[in-house]
Structure 1
C-alpha cells in the first residue's frame, strides 16, 4: 500500500508514533524514526531494528522538532538518505497538565512549542520537496482540541491550533497534490493511560459509546488510510478515533 514511499514520523520512538512507523513499514514504506533527544535514541533504534527485521528500511534521527533548525535537519537527513519525502506524520507531543490558575508560563509555552509549533516547523520544511510529486501530511490532534478539557488549557489550545493548521495548509497545498488531514484520538491504551487506576478507567469507559479505550493499532490504521492512495480524494479532514466519545 505504501511501497517505495518515504515517511517521516515525529515522536516515533514510542506509543502511537512507534505503531504508525511499524504499520507503514509493513506496507512497504521507508521510515524515518524521530526522537527529540539523545537519551531516547536507544528506543528509536529499537524501532529501526524491528523494521529492518521485517525486511524494511529505516533510520533514526535525533531532532527536537520544537526547534526550527533541528526540524530542518530532520527533513534534510531524510532527503539525503532516501532522496525524497512522501509522507509526514506530525505526531510528537507532550503534556504539562495543570489547572490554569496554577499553570506556569513555561508549562504553557513548552506544550505549544512542541505540539503546535513543532508541526509548523516540520510542515514548513517538508512541503517544498513534497511539491515535486505530491504527498500526504497527517497531524495528530486530539479530542481535547475539539471539545476542550479542564486542566489542559495548554494541550487543548495546541491541539485546537493543529485543526486550523490542518485546514489552512490543506487549502494552500491542494493545488500541489499535497493532502493534509488530522487524526483526533480519544482515550487510547498507551503508556499515559496505563498509569490510570482501574476505577478511573471504568469511569472513562462509561462515557465512551463503545465502552472501551482504543488501541494504538486502531489509530495507526487510520493514519495508514490517510497516507495511502485509498484517501486520494480526502484533504482538510479531522477524523476522530474516539469510540464515539464526542460525537
Structure 2
C-alpha cells in the first residue's frame, strides 16, 4: 500500500496541478505548486512507515524546509534575468541544499517554525524582482514528455526521501520533504517557454501560497500523535484547502481597488 502511495499519489497530484496551471495561467500554477502536493505524500508515507512520533518530528522540520523553498523562488527569479533555465536551476538548487543542510541541524517547536515560515514568505516577496505591469501570456507548446517527466521526477524524490528516512532521521527527512521538485520543473519550463516575465509571475505565487502549506505541516506536527495518521491528514488537508481558498480570495479583493484605480 505504501509503495503505491510513493509511486502514484504525489506524481498524480503534480500532473493535476500542472494541467490546472496550464489552464488558468502562471500565477495559479505558482500557487498550486506551493501546495503540499509532494511533501504531503512524503509525510503521509513517513507516518505510515516510521510511526506518528517520527512523522510529527518530520512535519515540524518540514516547516523549516519551507524557508528553503521560499529562498529557491527568489534565487531562481533573480538568476532568470541573467541566465537560462540550467544556470538558474543550478544556482537555486545549491542555495536550497545549503539552507536545508543548515536548517536540518535546528530543532524548533512547531509554532515557532510556523512563524519563521510566514516571516520567510514575507521577506521573499519583499526582495522578489518586480513583475511586469502587464504582459500577454503565451501558450507554449509543451513537449510530449513534460508531464511524464514531472511524474517520474516526483516519484523518484518521494521514494528516495522515504526510503532514506531510517538513515537520515526525522529532521533531515522533514526538511527535504518540501524540496522544490515540482516547482523546479514548472519554473524551468516556464522560463524556457515564456521568458523571465513568465518565470517571475509563476514563482511569485509560491511564497504567496506558503500559508496553506505551513498550516498543513503545523497540523500534522501537533495532531498526528493524538489523532492518528488518517484523521490528522484529513483535517490537515481540509484546513489547507480552506486557508488557501480564503487567502486567494483576500488577495483578489486587495487587487480589485488597484485595478479600478488603474
> Quick check: TM above 0.5?
no
What TM-score, normalized by structure 2, do the two folds share?
A: 0.28
